[in-house]
């Protein structure tokens, strides 16, 4: 049977959430920015003039350059909408870079058109609606597109994590199931041993040791199963998430882009509906993986991971280590009966069951002693007396008070902290050790009586049988 350290190492090798890998490799930062810069430079250049036209650019020429910049932006954004990466610098940040480089540049050319028209005292009313519509369109693509890229990155990462978790599920489950199966085998062997004749004390002791090891493994397996369930629910939620409403609205709006922007050119209008379709495909792929994920992890999350093992069917993960109690008690009773050479095993078994109940009642008393007078509070005391008379007394008092868990020490501290500097530490130390001396005497009397009581039943002093 594996030790706790070995099973922990095995499970650590199959972590549910590994560091995310990358999707299709996007261009490097240098390559992307170089190509974007070259595109901005080439598209912002004044088009070749025909018929020997010279002089400053005219409004129509500014409009043509703006149109070229818009087309270039949409072309670059089209390549980004299919990028898959866990890195924001390769997703939404590049979307913003593209819009700032090309859309913002196009907007400045629209501004220049309006400046020239005002300078020439021309009426902009006829062409103003077109420019306003184009500005609105570019804002739509920049702002809503950025939000969609953030959503795409997060959805891709979540989908990847679920796929990774699905792949790891068999090895993760096998590690726990093997331990629980071995524990069941040890318990069944112990139950079979009880019906044998001619038993020796060593036979029972050997089987008890195997069951104690089984209890340890059950404790680990149950804790790991509970922890994994908590992590899954924290990371992926209890149920399939709904599509982000803002993203859903953007997809709907982009499908109807031609109706929303009647003056949009045929060069630009095909892109948004295409992007909406790509995002719909990504969401559908996410839902398919989520369905597989829910199906795969259902036995674990529903607490049915060990239901095919008869002794553990319907047992909560946190109670797995309690299953051996009855068998262990019977084996201890059998051992003591063999030692005493008596046939009254039932009386011994009843005494052991009574001891188990009594120990459960006594355990809170032991915890209370440890929390009040154990090593932890004593460390707090040393820290307290080392700082309570320091120059930065007020700050140290507030810091130390926040960490004290011992109710007795906390009460002593509250009283002594009001004492004069130079005497507070002695007041706290003396009062605490005086109270501890009395508490130790009471605890030792109780503990020694408990040790003797358990020794009569053949049990160890601690809390495990």
Residue 237 lies in a domain: no
Cα distances from 147 to residues 33, 272, 352, in angstroms, run 21, 14, 65
- The answer to whether residue 443 sits within a structural domain is yes
User: Is 36 a domain residue?
Assistant: no
How much is the pLDDT for 368? 83
Q: Which pLDDT does position 395 carry in this prediction? A: 59
C-beta of residue 77 within 8 angstroms of C-beta of residue 141 = yes
431 assigned to some structural domain = yes
429 in a domain, yes or no? yes
Contacts of 89 (CB under 8 A, 6+ apart): 29
pLDDT of residue 7: 46
User: Based on the number of CB atoms within 10 Å of its own CB, is 12 exposed (0-12), middle (13-18) or buried (19 or more)?
Assistant: exposed
Is 408 inside any structural domain? yes
Residues spanned by the domain of 391 = 374-457
Give me the residues of the chain with pLDDT under 70, please.
Answer: 1-24, 46-55, 343, 384-410, 412-424, 463-465
pLDDT of residue 52: 58
| CA distance linking residue 276 with residue 403, whole number of Å | 54
Residue 272 lies in a domain: no
The confidence score (pLDDT) of residue 10 equals 44
pLDDT at position 156, please?
94
Backbone phi and psi for residue 193, each to the nearest 5 degrees, phi listed first: -65, -35
The reported pTM is 0.72
Q: Is the separation of the CB atoms in 456 and 334 below 8 Å?
A: no
Q: Return the residue matching tokens 């702002």.
A: 143
Query: Number of folded domains in the chain?
Result: 1
Question: 394 in a domain, yes or no?
Answer: yes
Distance between CA 62 and CA 109 in Å, rounded?
Answer: 6
Q: What is the pLDDT of residue 319?
A: 93
């Amino acid at each position: 049977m594996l030790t706790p350290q070995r099973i922990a190492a095995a499970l650590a090798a199959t972590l549910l959430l590994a560091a995310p890998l990358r999707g299709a490799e996007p261009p490097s930062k240098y390559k992307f920015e170089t190509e974007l810069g070259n595109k901005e430079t080439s598209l912002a250049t004044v088009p070749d003039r025909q018929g020997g036209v010279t002089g400053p650019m005219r409004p129509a020429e500014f409009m043509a350059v703006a149109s070229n910049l818009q087309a270039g932006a949409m072309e670059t954004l089209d390549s980004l909408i299919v990028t898959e990466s866990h890195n924001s610098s390769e997703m939404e940040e590049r979307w913003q870079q593209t819009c700032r480089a090309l859309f913002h540049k196009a907007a400045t050319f629209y501004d220049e058109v309006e400046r020239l028209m005002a300078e020439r005292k021309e009426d902009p009313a006829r062409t103003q609606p077109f420019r306003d519509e184009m500005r609105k369109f570019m804002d739509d693509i920049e702002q809503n597109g950025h939000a969609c890229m953030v959503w795409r990155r997060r959805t891709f990462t979540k989908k990847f994590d679920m796929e990774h978790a699905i792949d790891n599920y068999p090895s993760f489950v096998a590690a726990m199931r093997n331990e629980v199966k071995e524990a069941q085998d040890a318990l069944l062997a112990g139950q079979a041993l009880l019906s044998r004749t001619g038993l020796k004390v060593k036979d029972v002791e050997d089987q008890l040791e195997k069951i104690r090891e089984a209890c340890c493994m059950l404790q680990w397996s149950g804790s790991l199963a509970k922890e994994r369930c908590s992590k899954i629910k924290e990371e992926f939620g209890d149920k399939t998430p709904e599509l982000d409403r803002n993203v859903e609205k953007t997809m709907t709006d982009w499908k109807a882009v031609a109706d929303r922007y009647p003056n949009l050119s045929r060069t630009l209008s095909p892109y948004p509906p295409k992007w909406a379709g790509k995002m719909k495909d990504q969401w559908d792929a996410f839902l398919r993986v989520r369905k597989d994920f829910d199906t795969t992890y259902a036995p674990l999350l529903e607490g049915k991971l060990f239901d095919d093992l008869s002794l553990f069917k319907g047992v909560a993960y946190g109670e797995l280590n309690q299953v051996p109690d009855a068998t262990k008690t019977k084996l201890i009773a059998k051992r003591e009966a063999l030692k005493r050479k008596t046939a009254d095993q039932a009386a011994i078994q009843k005494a052991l069951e009574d001891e188990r109940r009594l120990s459960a009642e006594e355990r809170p008393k032991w915890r209370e002693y440890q929390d009040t007078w154990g090593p932890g509070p004593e460390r707090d005391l040393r820290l307290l007396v080392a700082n309570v008379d320091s120059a930065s007394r007020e700050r140290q008092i507030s810091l130390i008070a926040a960490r004290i868990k011992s109710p007795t020490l906390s009460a002593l501290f509250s009283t002594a902290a009001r004492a004069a500097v130079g005497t507070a530490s002695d007041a706290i130390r003396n009062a605490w050790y005086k109270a501890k001396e009395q508490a130790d005497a009471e605890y030792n009397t109780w503990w020694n009586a408990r040790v003797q009581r358990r020794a009569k039943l053949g049990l160890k002093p601690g809390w495990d049988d």
